[in-house]
Every structure is written in C-alpha cells, then in structure tokens.
Amino acid sequence: MIRSYRDKATRLFAEGEFVKRFQSIEAQASTRLSRLNAATGLNDLRQQRGNRLESLGGDRAGQYSIRVNDQWRICFEWPDDGDGPVNVELVDDHH
C-alpha cells in the first residue's frame, strides 16, 4: 500500500481528484498507481512486464520508477522495512 506522496498533485490524483496536468495520462496513470498500491514488494512490480520497473541513479539514486508511457513515469522509494512505497510522484521526463 502506498504510504506517502512526494507532492500534493500526485496525492490528489491518486485520491480520485481531477488534476489538469495529468489529464492526458489519466487512465494509464490510474492503472499504474493501482498496481503500485496493491504491490507487496518490488517483485510484484517486476512480474508485471508492462511496468518497466527501473532502479534509478544520479540525483534519483535510491528511487525506482515504473513507466506510464514514454514521457511519464511514477517514481518512488521502497524502504527496507518493505511496508510499501513512499514519496510517490508522477514525473514528466520532458520537463
């Protein structure tokens, strides 16, 4: 279960609110967030091939991402306690 969100817009979107910035990816992002929320570990996300789970580096070291499409991804951290993802955010790779 998702434990926290990095920003207000992602939290509101995940709670079912309309967020204009995410309008073009609404269906795909909702599906991916549901999968992330249901996951009990990173292996759950790895087994769903369409997620394209990646371990990130650079200024996002320690984070993982799953792809929404070629432009958008959901970034998050998964602490060692394994209780679910934290600091979840929808990120536009082109900005």
Kindly report which listed range (61-65, 71-75, 81-85) carries the lowest average pLDDT score.
81-85
Strands 72-77 and 64-67: antiparallel
List pLDDT tens digits, range 2-29: 999 999 999 999 999 999 999 999 999 9
List pLDDT tens digits, range 31-52: 999 999 999 999 999 998 889 9
CA–CA dist 34, 31 (Å, integer): 5
Which tokens belong to 94? 């082109």
Predicted TM-score of the model (pTM):
0.94
Strands 72-77 and 54-55: unpaired
CA–CA dist 54, 17 (Å, integer): 27
Give the residue carrying structure tokens 């998964």: 78
Which top CATH class is 8-92?
Answer: alpha beta
